Structure 1
Amino acid sequence: MRQESRSELMARVQELCFACLDLNLYLDNNPDDSNAVSMYNKLSKQFEQARCAYESKYGPLTNFGYVQSRCPWQWVDQPWPWDREFND
């Protein structure tokens, strides 16, 4: 199985994050839509897996709250996830 590149992993994280956010907004207005809740839960799990895959290989995407850091502190590693230069 081919390993995803850094930019491919980031794109997957971003796509899943957007899908979860979009469904979250929909569910705010349609809380009883069981199909949407099911899809949200499925995509939320995929988002968590994609985020963990990225962070285990390239470091944390946020500066606090989701992952622990090794020593030395890793948040300062370059390039930043939002920098264009990080792409392969």
Structure 2
Amino acid sequence: MYHLEWCPKYRYNMFKREENKKLCEEILYEVAKRHKIKITELCVMPDHIHTVVETPLTMSVSKAFQLLKGASSRELFKRKPQF
């Protein structure tokens, strides 16, 4: 089990609005499911994200971090280009 935390670029308050927060949560769960990463805890704050995850035995924590952060970012900007 790993605790991962990251911030948007320049620590912008991207998730201040409830609608953006919910969208981010939804996308993170989708990405995690796709890559067989189990999210046991998730907290989206206005300017950063906390997760507690369990990774498959064959996946490094850095790979899980890359997948969650990168894929969620791509999907967020695809769905809401004004971010």
**TM-score (norm. length: structure 1):** 0.31
Q: For the pair shown, which has the larger CA radius of gyration, 1 or 2?
A: 1
Structure whose residues are more often strand by fraction: 2
